[in-house]
Structure 1
Amino acid sequence: MSDATRDLLTAASAGDADAVRAALDAGADIEARADGAMTALVAATKENRVDAARVLIEAGADVNAKDDIQDSAYLYAGARGHDEILRLTLDNGADLTSTNRFGGTALIPASERGLLATVEILLEAGVDPNHVNNLHWTALHEAIVLGDGSDAYVDVVRALIDGGADTTIRDGDGVLPRDLAAERGYDAIVALLER
């Protein structure tokens, strides 16, 4: 690995956009891999280093390149609510059908975490709200089963339904989203699912 490439990977993690630019100008390999097979862009994204990520994306970094745990800049930004980087990836070729190590799209972990703004960005971009992951859950299932029924999750469930989520898809045990919500006492979510 060249010194320029090493400098690029360090600068990306640190969020030093000027050093990222300098390393690229010095001939750094933009798709080189650091520990965990992370590209500079994935490293910047995991630290939510927006300016460094912007420089890398504008220089042509692959927003879909995955590390050894199947995180890409697009998937990680979506999963963690790093919305500025997420928008940059969406504007620069993010693969909306790309899946993480659990077989889920970015929408599923965003829903699990109650990240309404991120959920709305992903739905607007065209991510399938009915994708089923390896656990046999959609984004709707995850918002219910892994959420806490609070207002944030009510808003996410509403956004998913408005975005085309099919409320009749059963989980791997054959249970409907409405029944999952009822079991947990999430009355506001039950009401949304029954309307």
Structure 2
Amino acid sequence: MTLEDDLASAAATGNTAGVEDLLRKGADVNGVNKYGRTPLQVMMMGSTAVARLLLTRGSRPNVADRSTGTTPLHDAAREGFLDTVKILLEFSANPVAVDNSNCQPVDLARERGYGDVVAFLESL
């Protein structure tokens, strides 16, 4: 496994200390794992500490999934993680990005019934 695979795994499990350690060892914050996804794309969406760490280290918040066109903001909104939505927006995530189904993050939050996320995104 590469450092980037390890970094993606640490991010996916919400392991903030592991993410920090791998970044210190030289893992590329925007490097892709063996599945072609960045740590921010696979991070545990409820882990605001991991999100903030990756973003402060230069992770690009608007990288879209190659197969679905979704961004990390789409994922966070779809799963109802308002705090992660706010952090992504703080680091210039595009709130009106559309995925391959022409859906914006607010549309996915609305489909899943996350009213707090919908209200926040609509207030922008």
Q: Structure 2 unaligned runs (5+)?
A: none
Larger Rg: 1
Q: Say whether the 8 Å CA contact 1:109–1:142 is kept in structure 2.
A: no
Q: How many residues align?
A: 122
TM-score (norm: length of structure 1)? 0.57
- Cα offsets for 1:95-149 (capped at 9, x unmatched): 12212354321112225x411111111111110000011221110111123x1x2
Q: Aligned ranges for residues 37-186 of structure 1 at < 5 Å?
A: 38=1, 63-64=3-4, 72-111=5-44, 113-134=45-66, 135-145=68-78, 147=79, 149=80, 153-186=81-114
Q: Structure 1 unaligned runs (5+)?
A: 1-37, 39-61, 65-71
Higher relative contact order (CA 8 A, sep 6+): 2
Percent identity reads 34
- Cα offsets for 1:35-94 (capped at 9, x unmatched): xxx4xxxxxxxxxxxxxxxxxxxxxxx633xxxxxxx22111112111112101111211
Q: Whole-Å Cα distance in 1 between the matches of residues 69 and 35 of structure 2?
A: 10
Q: Whole-Å Cα distance in 2 between the matches of residues 138 and 103 of structure 1?
A: 14
What is the deviation of 1:184? 2.0
In the TM superposition, structure 1's runs of 4+ consecutive aligned residues that sit over 6 Å from their partners are none
